[in-house]
Amino acid sequence: MEFIAAWPATTFSAVLVASEVVQVQMPPLSTYVEFASLVVGSIAVALAVKPVRRWKAEAFRTAWLLFLFLCSSASLLHGWYNSMQERYYAQDCYIQGMQGCRYPRYTWLDMLYELLFREQCMLLLMADAGTFANLDKECYSVFRERLKMCAKVAAQCLILAIGLGAIIVADSRPLGKQLPDEATMLAEARAEEMTKTSGAYDRLEHRCLAELKDR
């Protein structure tokens, strides 16, 4: 059962990493290598889906496998799309001002720029003097700089959160002091209960003796 559960996750992860490594090569790899990697990755993902469908996993593991499957599938679809485009990337058109960029390949960064930033930026700069290519280059440069700033802030927040978490854990559990296990805690509770019972019995005995003496 462990093998059945681990094999799809490993396959999805390997396909995702291999697909991204092949696609980030600039200039792109040869057509045959790219096509072969996409075919092998697609077959591996298709084979890995079968045991997942038969395996009744826990909710967390199922969600993790589904996440890996979606990521690897998205990477493969991205690779298949790029394989049918010409052998240059959209960022070359933005940065170098290449002409005739009708069928460029897209990196994930280029896709974010096209979907989330390019149109708004071009509308804001439409009144500025300059060619369309220069405006596009300026927008892409601004996008990359803002993305770097966002990544830097996110990294700083992550480091700060880790540091605060470490401080909280250190305060709740001083260094060199081990938390007692369940058996120790039960033994201490029994000893404390016996001490209280013994104390109550002694007080009752003294009270009875005092009453006898009074009689």
**Residue 160: pLDDT band with limits 50, 70, 90:** very high
Give the tokens for residue 113: 């720029």
Confirm if 105 and 87 have CB atoms less than 8 A apart: yes
More confident residue, 187 or 206: 187
Q: How far apart are CA 21 and CA 13, in angstroms?
A: 12
pTM above 0.75, yes or no: no
Q: If pLDDT is split at 50, 70 and 90, which confidence band does 180 have?
A: low
Work out the mean pLDDT of the chain and round it to a whole number: 78
Parse the chain into domains and list their residue ranges: 1-84, 88-179, 180-215
**What is the average pLDDT across 92-108?**
82
- Whether the pLDDT of residue 184 is over 80: the answer is no
Other beta carbons within 10 angstroms of residue 105's beta carbon come to 22
End-to-end CA distance of the chain: 78
Q: How far apart, in whole angstroms, are the C-alpha atoms of residue 76 and residue 94?
A: 25
- The residues, ordered by sequence, that sit 6+ positions from 37 with a Cβ below 8 Å of its Cβ are 18, 19, 22, 79
Q: For residue 128, what are its two tokens?
A: 């500025």
Q: Each residue of 142-159: pLDDT tens digit?
A: 888 888 899 899 999 999
